[in-house]
Amino acid sequence: MTEKPAEKTEVKLEIGRFGKFLQDNGIKSKRQSDSNNVETIVIDAKDLEPAMRLLKTSSETTLNFLLCVSGVDYADKIDSVYHLWSYEHNDALVIKVELPKNNMTNTQTPCMSSISNFWPAANWHERETYDLVGIRYLKHPYLRRILNPWDWEGHPLRRDYKQLIDALNDKNPHSFR
C-alpha cells in the first residue's frame, strides 16, 4: 500500500512554451519530464488561480478545456493535477500543484485555492478530489462529498486509508448486518 513510485532522476529541463508564457507574465513554474510529449509543469499553490485565468483566456494559449482535476497521494506530498486542452487547437498542458504532507493523518486535509469560481468545469472535479483524496479547495462554492455519502469518514484514495466500518464483513462487531 505504501510503496513509492520509482524515483525519477532529476535532470535540468528546458523551459517549455507554456512555461515561457507564464514566466513572461510573472509566474514561476518548474518543468517536469514530459509524459507522451505533453508539457508538464509544477507551480506554487498561490500562483494557480492567476495562472489558470491567464491560460484560459489569453489569446496566445486559449487552453479552455479543463479535462479533469485529479488528486494523487504520494508518500510525502499530495498532488493536485490539472489536465488542460483546448477546443480550438491541439496543444495540451499538465499542471501540478504539490502540497506537502508533513505527517498528516488521514482525516487532515491540505488546503489550496479553488478555481471553480471562474471555471465551472472544476466544480464537480474539485468536490470529487476533496471526497476521495482529501484536498480542501478554499473558496469553493459548495465543497461537499460527491461520490461517497455525506457522513463518510476519511478519504479512500489516501495510501494510509483504512475503512472504519466494514459494512459487508460479518465478523466486524460494527457491521450493519
Partner 1 sequence: MATELTTTNLKTDEMIINMGPQHPATHGVLRLILKLDGEIVRHVEPVIGHLHRAQEWQGQNRTLFQYQALIDRVDYLSGMFTSLAFAHACEQIDGCEVPPRAQYLRALVCEMNRISSHLLWLGTFLIDLGALFGFPFYPFREREKLLDLFEEIAGQRMMFNYIRIGGVIRDPKPTWFEKVRKFTQEFPDRIDEYEAIVTQNPIVLKRTKDVGILDKQVAFDYGVSGPSLRGSGVNYDLRKVRPYGIYPDLNFDVPLGQNKGDTWDRYMCRILEMRQSNELIKQCLDKMPEGEILGKKQIAGLRIKAGEGFSAIESPRGVLGCYVISNGSDKAYRIKWRNPSFCNLAVLPSLLIGRPISDIMAIFGSIDVILPDVDR
Please give the residue ranges that form the binding site for partner 1 (CB under 8 A). Answer: 3-6, 35-36, 38, 64-68, 70, 72-73, 81, 83, 87, 90, 94, 119-121, 123-124, 128, 132, 145-149, 156-157
Of residues 62 and 109, the one with the C-beta less far from partner 1: 62
* Core vs surface per residue 94-125: b (16+ CB within 10 A) or e: bbbbbbebeeeebeebbebbbbbeebeebbeb
Distance of CA 75 to the CA centre of its chain: 15
Of residues 62 and 113, the one with the C-beta less far from partner 1: 62
- Closest distance of CB 47 from partner 1, Å: 22
Of residues 22 and 66, the one with the C-beta less far from partner 1: 66
Closest CA to 48 of 118, 102, 105: 118
> Quick check: helix, strand or coil at residue 34?
strand
Compute the C-alpha angle 48/75/32, nearest 5°: 45
- Closest distance of CB 26 from partner 1, Å: 26
- Closest distance of CB 79 from partner 1, Å: 9
* 46: Cα within 13 Å, side-chain hemisphere: 2
- Closest distance of CB 81 from partner 1, Å: 7
Of residues 100 and 120, the one with the C-beta less far from partner 1: 120
